[in-house]
Structure 1
Amino acid sequence: MSIEQWRTAWQQLTAAGAPFEVVTPADGAPRYFRQTARTLQEVIDAGRVHGEREFLVWQEQRLSFADYFDQVDRLAGQLIARFGLQPGERVAIAMRNQPAWLVAFAAIQRCGAVCVPLNSWGLRDELLHGLEDSGAGLLLCDESRLTLLRDDLTARQRTTIVVGMTSVAGLPDYCFRYEDLLAAEALVVPAVRVEPHAPAMILYTSGTTSRAKGALSSHRAVCQALAALDFQSAFCALSSPQRIARVIDSGFAPTSLMAVPLFHVSGLHAQFLSALRGGRRLVLMYKWDVERAIDLIRDERCTQFNGAPVMMQQLFASPRFGGADTASLFGLGLGGGASSAALLGDMARRKPDVIGGSGYGLTESNGIGAAIGGDPFLYKPASCGWPLPIVDVRIGDSPAQPVPDGQPGLIWLRSPTLMSGYWNQPVASAETLCDGWLNTGDIGYLDDEGFLCISGRVKELINRGGEKISAAEIEACISEMPGVEDAAVFAVPDPLLGEAVALVIQGERLPSVQDAQLFIAARLAGYKVPAHVYRVTEALPRNATGKVLKAELKQRISG
């Protein structure tokens, strides 16, 4: 298909009366999808129609949709009857991926409460910050998180429901076993009505340097985001009919291997909530391990895997990838960080029939911005795709004065999926949301065909004697050099230039410092060649979404 045919398919999906009809308000407010759920309660309840179809696979647990909803209703009944949970109250979840996480989220929404997913990768200070900052009166956690927070929870006597405890022996009075609550007599859950503009969740930003801020989103914002994800799937099917036909003809049931954390939009929205509505099977991983992932793809016949670039690199590097063990895998989605051209090319070469894709979004936009998949992905794999139909994009220092297409600048987004603001942070909210536009902090441009391309982050621009250098550009360049498995670029002080470029490369068979500099010099402007190159064999420190913790890395290097 040609790009003109893709545009036609796009227009057909969004026209009046179409499944993804887009409404343009007369008052100038952001465009929105007409046909969406009003609340997350409606989104979740839509999954009940799938009945006895298998939904969740995790270790020895297997739950049908009916099993899952039985647990949701049982937990919701206990939350209201035993703990007196009221609409609008905050409830935190702190545990690694497992069925109880998904049950807890739906039960919280069933009660009309506000869900606060906490970073289960975080240490005591980060977890405690999320609890205290959100004002959550109730916590659902696993045993590992209870161990981290036990002294703090005891001091505050915060009501805690613990998953996976084999007995109540040694549990403090404020703790209750999750399994006991599910085993109790089922209670009738009263209908709790919430409005579309009511708060639904607080998602903490996965910052790499500063303390995480809580992005508060309404039910309407999340529902519009889920509709945008559905649109992208439908557009991918229309623009890549031959690829979709091969998936259908394979006979494999749609099954996603889920290794990204549920406390992030890429896990919560794009995988869990989308699968729940659509009847897709989810195979959960407690934590990422590439060989275990391939075992699960083989044994459970997984058809889809979405992950951060570092996950995808490890998957492609396995000698088992591309053989019989991954024969069922037809969909690969990239997210969570910039991807090098080499990685994207490897994807197309190793699995030519794959439906590849990537996207661009933030926690503050509920993961929605631009997206690309299927044949359009092969056409422009280094781009993020077209902005989704309900998203406006402007490039420049101010959304009121956008620069021409092709010229890079600060990316601003406007859509109905944006957060309401940062929880209890009016100043930070005003700095990030400007007249309905979100300051993403990312640098990029719209090309002559309307595709959004990302070139770096404002905070990661290095000012070398007045020349602005994108760390992401150098990282993408050096990642194509043989022997370099991972890379990070950041600024270091320089007495003459103010800042100089520092590069850390990681791998088992790394090139020399001089060879790395020559490789970059042959491809980028001379002033972008790193003055300092550090070679390491240990993995670079990353947060839960795959972003390199550069502040921690700097300390390692300087130490």
Structure 2
Amino acid sequence: MTETVPGRSASPSTLRWTADRSLSEDMRSLLCGPGGPFERTTEEVLGTPVEVFVQRAPHLPAVLAGAAERSPDTEYCVFDGPEPETLTYGEARSLAAAYAEVLASRYCVGKGDRVAVAAPNGREYLLTFWATLSLGAVMVGLNGWWAPAELDHGIALTAPSAVFGLGRPLERLGQTEFAAKGGSLVSLKDLHEAALAVHDPARGLPDVEIAEDDPAAVLFTSGTTNLPKGATLSHRNFVHFGLFGGLGGAVVVVNGGGRYRQIPPDVQRTSICSNPFFHVSGVGPALVIAPSFGSRLVFPEPGRWDAERALRLTDKYKLTQWHGVPTHFWKMLTHPDFEKYSTGQVAVIGSGGSTFAPELLRLFEEKMPGVQITNGYGMTETTGGGTFLNGPEMDGHPASVGAPAPTMEVQVRDPDGVPAAENEVGEIHIRGAGVFLGYWNNPEATAEAFAEDRWYRTGDYGRVIDGVLYLESRMRDLIIRGGENIYPIEIEYRLVEHPSIADAAVIGVPDRILGQQVKAFVVLEPGAEPPSEDDLRAWTAERLASFKVPAFIEFRDALPYNETGKVLKRHLEEEPGTP
């Protein structure tokens, strides 16, 4: 599945995707040969030669325009509710054009300007995204679960021309300093009504010159400091996200034979879009994968993810694909009413963010035999791309995160920057057309993120075995709770701001359903009255999103430190009784 390219040592240096070599010559020519949909070549991108897809859209608005031209009456989105609403590709294009007119005329949004949104997934959010992109402007995806202080940081960092919200995120925006100082907040409902007033079904998207490497979106990452960073993704990044996912899926379908469930050619691929638009895993399918391949997305009503609702929607809309994190799948497969709902048409399970436990794979085989399971490793900074695991590799290396995705290159390097030998742990580096532009308004962090020739330093550690990547650990003890990345330091900063807390350390502890939970160890100020655990949770929740609030809190007389003053978190993790 991968090839190694000699580098500065005799060890495996660069892993590249070569799964198309497993295809027959005729099929490889059809898919990847000259003029084929997945033809690849090498071009210079931002000063570095990388592999790119030849038959690619020049930018994101062209992706939507192409889908609307090919199949204007095909369903693009279904917004579930008491009275479900649908949106075709043709309607999406014309409504996005109307939104763009309002953004330009009423809010003076033009090329390069930022438009910030904090809202649940929905029609208005999606159309605002498309309208912003069609103007050559940049969408700022504010985390809808953030506390007001975090929202203030995102707004101050990106200086948007307009800030929109909906539902509870709009309420939290109203509690920000930005709002208190007179900053303008607009409901997406108001934007929608204004767009309907100027809507012309015959209108196309604005004619704006957009370069492939122009910024398209700023999506925030959990910071290794106490502040999130804004990863800036380009139009090229997103376009390649769709194409390397499409090629990987095509190869598995061709090689799968009768081993896996198949989606009949006359059935539209349909999946739930439950991941939020401020995550690359949510906005990527909506902006690129669905319109590139004519698939349909079902949007649940706003609210927390619920296993029974996901099963009900699977049955109601005859979903052919599930996308989520292992936590979601555990809850669905073990739901007491699982057998009540139709899941036999589901052919593909797509995931990322953490590996599948052997028990979960066995549960899939028991309850959904023949379903094709795919997993991957990536991050916001790589537009979700990095490595890809499915088919035979899932059987042979289920604990790995797979081989490089198409057009992506992977290296594991030692502390000196030299490629590590087989089975040696090192920092994972990724390069390719999916790698981001940098961190918005943060040149220092951007410089630190890249090695020579635009190799992105992921900060994650792993090892290569038999051409596939295994994750070893996460820099700064990253916690992955239900697919959400949490850096302990931002929680630790908040805890020590409490007047009774002198010191704090936060770790992730295993959880069967969520993958990990947050546990905090705290040390009191001398003579301080100890707050209750609930008081500390409420204190944390005032400034941080709810998923960062510790599930477990333990009071200590002191924390273990080494001679350089670093907390020995491994000691805390290995203590008997740690959940």
Quick check: TM above 0.5? yes
CA distance in 2, matches of 1:5, 1:112: 35
**How far does the alpha carbon of each residue in 1:332-363 deviate from its partner, in whole angstroms, 9 at most, with x for none?**
11212333222233223321111111111110
CA distance in 2, matches of 1:336, 1:32: 25
CA distance in 1, matches of 2:397, 2:243: 24
CA distance in 2, matches of 1:399, 1:37: 39
CA distance in 1, matches of 2:439, 2:347: 38
Please report how far the alpha carbon of residue 369 of structure 1 lies from its aligned counterpart in structure 2 after TM superposition.
0.5
Determine the structure 1 residue equivalent to 2:296. 281
1:204 aligned to 2:225?
no
CA distance in 2, matches of 1:416, 1:424: 21
1:138 aligned to 2:156?
no
CA distance in 1, matches of 2:429, 2:224: 21
Determine the structure 2 residue equivalent to 1:114. 138
Contact 1:399-1:437 within 8 A present in 2 as well = no
| RMSD, aligned α-carbons | 3.7
Determine the structure 2 residue equivalent to 1:401. 418
Quickly say closer, same or farther: Cα 1:370–1:150, change in 2 above 3 A: same
CA distance in 2, matches of 1:369, 1:212: 22
Determine the structure 2 residue equivalent to 1:31. 51
CA distance in 1, matches of 2:374, 2:262: 17
Question: Alignment identity in percent?
Answer: 29
CA distance in 1, matches of 2:469, 2:459: 15
Please report how far the alpha carbon of residue 268 of structure 1 lies from its aligned counterpart in structure 2 after TM superposition.
0.9
Determine the structure 2 residue equivalent to 1:8. 22
Please report how far the alpha carbon of residue 244 of structure 1 lies from its aligned counterpart in structure 2 after TM superposition.
6.2
CA distance in 2, matches of 1:256, 1:22: 28
CA distance in 2, matches of 1:424, 1:28: 22
1:336 aligned to 2:353?
yes
CA distance in 2, matches of 1:489, 1:94: 22
**How far does the alpha carbon of each residue in 1:1-47 deviate from its partner, in whole angstroms, 9 at most, with x for none?**
9x998642299354555432222358862222222111112122122
Please report how far the alpha carbon of residue 425 of structure 1 lies from its aligned counterpart in structure 2 after TM superposition.
1.0
CA distance in 1, matches of 2:24, 2:129: 33
Please report how far the alpha carbon of residue 555 of structure 1 lies from its aligned counterpart in structure 2 after TM superposition.
6.5
**How far does the alpha carbon of each residue in 1:421-451 deviate from its partner, in whole angstroms, 9 at most, with x for none?**
1111111111111111111111112212x11
1:255 aligned to 2:270?
yes
**How far does the alpha carbon of each residue in 1:184-235 deviate from its partner, in whole angstroms, 9 at most, with x for none?**
1336664111111211111111458732100112222222222212222222
Correspondence list, 1:183-194, <5 A: 183-186=196-199, 190-194=206-210
Which amino acid in 2 is paired with 1:181? A
CA distance in 2, matches of 1:347, 1:422: 39
1:45 aligned to 2:65?
yes
Determine the structure 2 residue equivalent to 1:104. 128
Please report how far the alpha carbon of residue 324 of structure 1 lies from its aligned counterpart in structure 2 after TM superposition.
4.2
Contact 2:97-2:206 within 8 A present in 1 as well = no
Quickly say closer, same or farther: Cα 1:336–1:506, change in 2 above 3 A: closer
CA distance in 1, matches of 2:505, 2:92: 54
Equivalent in 402, 414, 425 of residue 385 of structure 1: 402
SS in 1 for 2:264: helix
Contact 2:248-2:406 within 8 A present in 1 as well = no
CA distance in 1, matches of 2:547, 2:554: 12
1:438 aligned to 2:462?
no
SS in 2 for 1:242: coil
CA distance in 2, matches of 1:65, 1:360: 30
Please report how far the alpha carbon of residue 408 of structure 1 lies from its aligned counterpart in structure 2 after TM superposition.
2.1
Equivalent in 93, 105, 127 of residue 69 of structure 1: 93
SS in 2 for 1:305: strand
Q: Which has the higher contact order (CA 8 A, sep 6+)?
A: 2
CA distance in 1, matches of 2:96, 2:215: 20
Please report how far the alpha carbon of residue 108 of structure 1 lies from its aligned counterpart in structure 2 after TM superposition.
0.6
**How far does the alpha carbon of each residue in 1:132-162 deviate from its partner, in whole angstroms, 9 at most, with x for none?**
1111120221032222122545444434331
CA distance in 1, matches of 2:277, 2:435: 19
Which amino acid in 2 is paired with 1:343? L
Equivalent in 308, 319, 330 of residue 302 of structure 1: 319
CA distance in 2, matches of 1:396, 1:197: 28
Determine the structure 1 residue equivalent to 2:187. 162
CA distance in 1, matches of 2:416, 2:140: 31
SS in 2 for 1:248: coil
1:182 aligned to 2:198?
no
Quickly say closer, same or farther: Cα 1:117–1:28, change in 2 above 3 A: closer
Contact 1:115-1:201 within 8 A present in 2 as well = yes
CA distance in 2, matches of 1:501, 1:140: 34
SS in 2 for 1:358: strand
- Range that drifts further, 345-354 or 316-325: 316-325
1:553 aligned to 2:550?
yes
Correspondence list, 1:475-514, <5 A: 504=509
Equivalent in 427, 440, 457 of residue 423 of structure 1: 440
Determine the structure 2 residue equivalent to 1:451. 468
Correspondence list, 1:329-368, <5 A: 329-368=346-385
Which amino acid in 1 is paired with 2:72? G
- Range that drifts further, 145-154 or 89-98: 145-154
Contact 2:165-2:173 within 8 A present in 1 as well = no
Contact 1:229-1:270 within 8 A present in 2 as well = no
Unaligned runs of 5+ in 2: 4-17, 493-503, 514-536, 557-579
Contact 1:344-1:382 within 8 A present in 2 as well = no
CA distance in 1, matches of 2:168, 2:249: 37
Contact 1:348-1:378 within 8 A present in 2 as well = no
Determine the structure 2 residue equivalent to 1:229. 245
SS in 2 for 1:401: coil
SS in 2 for 1:556: strand
Contact 1:298-1:328 within 8 A present in 2 as well = no
CA distance in 2, matches of 1:17, 1:47: 19
**How far does the alpha carbon of each residue in 1:490-542 deviate from its partner, in whole angstroms, 9 at most, with x for none?**
99x9xxxxx9997745579xxxxxxxxxxxxxxxxxxxxxxxxxxxxxx9xx9
Which amino acid in 2 is paired with 1:83? Y
CA distance in 1, matches of 2:371, 2:400: 18
Quickly say closer, same or farther: Cα 1:219–1:156, change in 2 above 3 A: farther
CA distance in 2, matches of 1:54, 1:195: 29
CA distance in 2, matches of 1:500, 1:213: 22
